[in-house]
Chain A
């Protein structure tokens, strides 16, 4: 997979434990890189499984799951966007299926997808365009480092390290 995403600036690339998490590669990207990454994966014969968002204190984490038919290798692209401007470019021009997945993500979390051909409510009523039911209340919202684990890091830039740094310090103090 690393060959497939060659040439894309990534924020963090890590290999995950397939038996435990179900996917092999976890790649953090900046929003501007997602369209290029999706088109590279399309050429490498990956198909899109789904697009979803997670609500953390640091912002919304938009996840893209890709997998291949003949080789079992799930790749998760992760894009962290801030709460005040949750905008990600849409990949509907490359993977047509992303059209509906992104509409659903907008319905549930309010993430805005630029250049989306038809960003209207998909599952919610048309009048409920501003209702985002899966956005959490501050009481239950957790931080990204409490939940996600970076895994076996191949390459990582400064910001991602800092984001997960406290968790490692806590683990080191527990151990």
Chain B
């Protein structure tokens, strides 16, 4: 992937380092082509934890249809997925599972933090917080943050386009026009 565009911080917080060896035959044109192919067929992992999961499902359904943009198959198994869309609140009991699932995904892999809870703990970031992880980026590296509680399906689609831009270097889809009234 286009490393200079990545928002993944260099200091990783997981026990297993997210590191990919460069390919043996490293031709830039071929790598760019592969990046475009990867961005057009991102397979998400069904990691819906809470309310945002329903909006993620709605994004995959007939009205908004993420399959048009490449996310055809939602894979429950991390071994078969590229993108982990963390949709919902991560609690302390769930945190080891999140990290383990991230580590089970084969590279190249990306993470979209969907919803306020995954970004920062959301509405549950209170002074006496004892159970909610304040942002999934304290556990795993995150590429795209999609704010909202829950974000509209259009918002998740925009986050998806942003991820495609990070991977392939350009945005392929038109920006939605301003609607009057």
Contacts and interface: CB of A to CB of B under 8 A. Distances in A.
B128 interface: yes
A172 interface: no
B19 interface: no
A125 B93 contact: yes
Contacts, number: 8
A8 B128 CA distance: 42
Contacts of B93: 125
B97 to A, nearest CB: 12
Interface residues of B, number: 5
Nearest to B129: A133
Interface string A120-134: 000011001001010
B171 interface: no
Which bracket fits the contact residues of A? under 10
B92 A125 contact: yes
B130 interface: yes
B91 to A, nearest CB: 8
B131 interface: yes
Interface string A94-132: 000000000000000000000000000000110010010
A117 to B, nearest CB: 22
Contacts of B128: 133
A133 B93 CA distance: 16
Contacts of A125: 92-93, 131
Contacts of A133: 128, 130
Interface of B: 92-93, 128, 130-131
Given A124-B131, A128-B130, 6 more contacts: A125-B92, A125-B93, A125-B131, A131-B130, A133-B128, A133-B130
Q: Which 5 pairs show the lowest CB-CB distances between chains A and B? A: A125-B93, A125-B92, A133-B130, A131-B130, A124-B131
